[in-house]
Amino acid sequence: MQEADIQFLENSFKKYYFDHFDLIKVPERTFEREFGYQKFNSGMTRHIAIKNDKELHLLLIQNTPSDVYCSNAYYTFPNLPMNEKDWKEADLIFDIDAKDLNLSCRESHTVSICNECNQVSKNLTQCTKCNSTKLEKKSLPCKNCIDGSKKEVLKLIQVLVDDLAVTEDNIQVYFSGNEGFHVYVYNSQFQEIGSRERSELTDYISLRGAIPETFGMKKFKPKRESFPDLDEKGWRGRFAKQVFGSKSKRSKIITELLADGYPSFQKTLDDVSENIGVKIDPNVTMDIHRIFRLPGSINSKSGLTKIYCEDLTKFDPYTEASFLNDDPVDVLANCPIEFKLKNKKFGPYINEKVTVPTFAAAYMICKKLGTLA
């Protein structure tokens, strides 16, 4: 990133942190958590201990970070090296990202940036200018991406509440600031479990590794009565609703499943798991030492804010998470895809100088689809 672009983003982010510190969610038990930050074109600085709002505000104003992070874990000594921190417990956090949903719209709003010559094109396999295959893909998520991510969040909450006895009051949903959502679970019975147990938890939630026997099919002499009913709790009930559709069809479909045999049932189960299992990133939930983007901070991949979703169904990140100002900025834009922020449409731009509000300029610069003119 060019020095002028970095300076522009740093100034814009600094003003945001000065004007909108009230949006920063300083987590409970602050002094037990590890904080960290990154600056543009620089590495991570972590193992920082912060006691209160005032210290956090100071860190943000003094350093003007590109990204700010906080651990989900609680430590006795959060500022010491990892093996000396004395881990106590950690909140459960789930990451749901549009890029993992295999949505059909994805290709239409993804571009490639050539690492050799910086050419931007919609060809996702080879540079149209120098034929290099060293490409960096950038997506400008659409409403369908956000709606798909919301659907997964709602599925996750249902499993947490219905199957795992998590109370809704202890679940908080945040827009990640780019392509999806982070779901936080506080004060649950899972606070003290380690990485291995959290891995098993993600397997259950995503319905990964499910076996036919759980859903009534056996290799030898399967029985009709072993198959789930539509009103059963948990994954058996969800499986029944997906496969049988209604109680009136259940008997006929069980007959067909029995006739097709065990291998065919395994394929059916795999397909069902793909459809009804929750699409979460297991590595995020398993990591009990990770530091996560701080709620209320800006995501340098977009210039948008990681923000709490009070009403997920109505939430629109492109109006509610865009807080940078409207001051006009001249940008040399190479953004071949239209995008919408604060109810205004921008693009497509093909190597052209345009004057846009600061929030739109920051979005394109963060996506590497524009530079200050």
pLDDT tier for residue 360 given thresholds of 50, 70 and 90:
very high
* pLDDT at 264 > cutoff 80: yes
97 is annotated as an active-site residue: yes
Given 5, 67, 91, 97, the catalytic residue: 97
Tokens standing for residue 334? 């190479």
281 is annotated as an active-site residue: yes
44-53, 115-124, 204-213, range with the lowest pLDDT: 115-124
pLDDT tier for residue 347 given thresholds of 50, 70 and 90:
confident
Residue 33 · residue 91 · CB < 8 Å: no
C-beta neighbour count of 145 within 10 angstroms:
21
Alpha carbon distance 100, 284 (integer Å): 13
Tokens standing for residue 301? 């991949």
* pLDDT at 124 > cutoff 80: no
* pLDDT at 176 > cutoff 80: yes
First vs last C-alpha separation in the chain: 14
Given 162, 281, 316, 330, the catalytic residue: 281
Based on its alpha-carbon atoms, the radius of gyration of the chain, rounded to whole angstroms, reads 24
* pLDDT at 145 > cutoff 80: yes
Segment 214-235, tens digit of pLDDT: 999 999 989 999 999 999 999 9
Average pLDDT, the chain: 94
* pLDDT at 123 > cutoff 80: no
pLDDT score at 41:
84
CA 329 to chain centre: 30
Q: Give the burial string for 70-102 (b: 16+ CB within 10 Å, else e).
A: bbbbbbeebeeeeeebebeebbbbbbbbbbbbe
Tokens standing for residue 326? 């409207």
78-87, 103-112, 199-208, range with the lowest pLDDT: 103-112
pLDDT score at 55:
93
Helix axes 53-63, 3-19, angle to 10 degrees: 160
Alpha carbon distance 367, 2 (integer Å): 13
Residue 31 · residue 58 · CB < 8 Å: no
Given 95, 203, 271, 327, the catalytic residue: 95
pLDDT score at 186:
95
Sign of the torsion angle spanned by Cα atoms 305, 363, 324, 372: positive
91 is annotated as an active-site residue: no
Segment 66-75, tens digit of pLDDT: 999 999 999 9
pLDDT score at 129:
83
